Amino acid sequence: MKERVAKLLNEQINKEFYSAYLYLSFANYFIEQGLNGFANWYQVQAQEERDHAFLITQYLQNNDVKVVYEAIAKPDASWADNLEVLKAGLAHEQYVTASIHNIYDAASEEKDYRTLQFLDWFVQEQGEEEKNAIDLIRKMELFGGDAKGLYLLDQELAARTYAPPSLVL
């Protein structure tokens, strides 16, 4: 693996762990609001992001590349309202998507076909992540202003469970 691609993948590990921290801060916000279903949704999201970091770690290790863990930045934890949190989540997913695309571009330029194949899963996953964030924003805009609608949406999000990714490295 070329040094440039390895460096970008190592940086992505940090971004995935940051994503987990960010989503845990979202969960804490929603717990403070009494919206435990929303908190659950973001706790599951944090587990997914953590596992993304582990997948990249394992991929690098399987390719005899040194893994370098860097400090994880403290997420901003101040939002005006519930919708602002959800919009911050979408903006963050778009940032992660751009980062994955950047690694994909670098691997393509280096003709690193194994890494391209590995990243295909992440490209698809990011499409799903952005769609989920958009859907959640739309539901909040439709139902979040009504107490009963917000309650039902919170109940829907409480039902989310974690399913670890099944990616063959």
Structure tokens at 77: 């934890």
Taking only the tens place, the pLDDT of each residue in 57-75 is: 999 999 999 999 999 999 9
Alpha carbon 154 to chain centroid, angstroms: 20
Task: Determine phi and psi for 21, rounding to 5 degrees.
Answer: -60, -45
Taking only the tens place, the pLDDT of each residue in 41-54 is: 999 999 999 999 99
The domain ranges of the chain are 3-158
- Strand, coil or helix: 48: helix
pTM for the model stands at: 0.93
- Over 70: is that where the pLDDT of 168 sits? no
pLDDT on residue 17: 98
CATH T-level fold of 3-158 = Ferritin (1.20.1260)
DSSP state of 77: -
| Mean pLDDT value across residues 133-155 | 96
DSSP state of 155: H
